[in-house]
Structure 1
């Protein structure tokens, strides 16, 4: 018999309620631990670049990125040229975080373009994830390292420290992009362990992820998505909940309880 609706409910503390809400509601808590202060300079003091140089660099980056817009149908050569220009910025201004994230995005375009060229000559390659082919290992390692370097340059010393809107936007994008790469690595690793992967050699993808188990990678991705969500990325907020091991565990418990409620077993 179905339980009565008047059955006594367990008493939850305010902390228990907050934890459950945070686990299951992606919109409930992201950004609650982050203070974004528009009065702050765009970049923290660790970015050792003069105000004039920052203006020049921003203009140069806009010009580089504009040439890579989809309507311009960029070629492999034009994307490689953009990477070289960003390389020059990084070499001259190694503490400039935006150059790293822009280079990561540009390298990602290069991976996709080169993968398309390979798939045109080898139809079997088209079914593999473009980031996790042996040919892409060096590039995706650079992407991962660039995202990590950008995060390290601008993340606050403590989560309670306020950040500027520019700083928050970069952290949101970089954490989300890195989390996506780590999550793809986790799923490929899991598929390989289940015998479903077409990749025989697991030494593909970012070199810093080699040696981690699938569950470890998924937890790392969940952490990145959580932080990306805290800094304002809506997609990361949703993915943080989907990959949170505690949320999945609690979700399984709730599903089983509902099944028993419906079946009376």
Structure 2
């Protein structure tokens, strides 16, 4: 009897020690781009991502969203933005500094979507401090995204493609980004304003990023990303972010109109 109690005590101690270790790793790994986080992620993410996918059942969520005619929209990190809705228009104002880059994440309004399709929206970006002016400081962006939902799991690495409009360093630009396992590849082009119609089209493993001015009839192809690693079911939706490398400059108000998701 005493021997059994000793074994049980040892098992309890081992589990307690493991729990403390995980808690410590979570605390130390709060900087998601750090080498330490990546090392921890390589060990733990296969388990946490599998559990996350099993618990949430992404295909079932996508089926429900489709059946409800795109009515089920969710929020990721909603505390980073102020949100207002006026009919079919969405107004988002950044309240804190954040960024979608490498393994860092900002706020996102999303739903689940399976298979091929196109997400498009009309995005108007302004300074929250002066709604008559385009953004003019640091990085201030609004746009659309296709993201792997496994990124929500503990110690997961980000995988997504996005298309945004706003201010980048010293000029107004469109920015396109593909992020694989928490590493981002970024491209950008100059744009005459802080407004644009944006589109992302998925066909199999190919994602086509497009944009146009409001008065243009034809779309301009900005980038084509081959992403065979991205899952069949993804989160699709709207993102905004304000980033200033820790200088706490967040001055963005984004208006979203004509948000459409079409199955192909």
TM-score between both structures, scaled by the size of structure 2: 0.24
Tell me which protein shows more strand as a share of its residues.
2
Structure number with greater Rg is 1
TM-score between both structures, scaled by the size of structure 1: 0.24
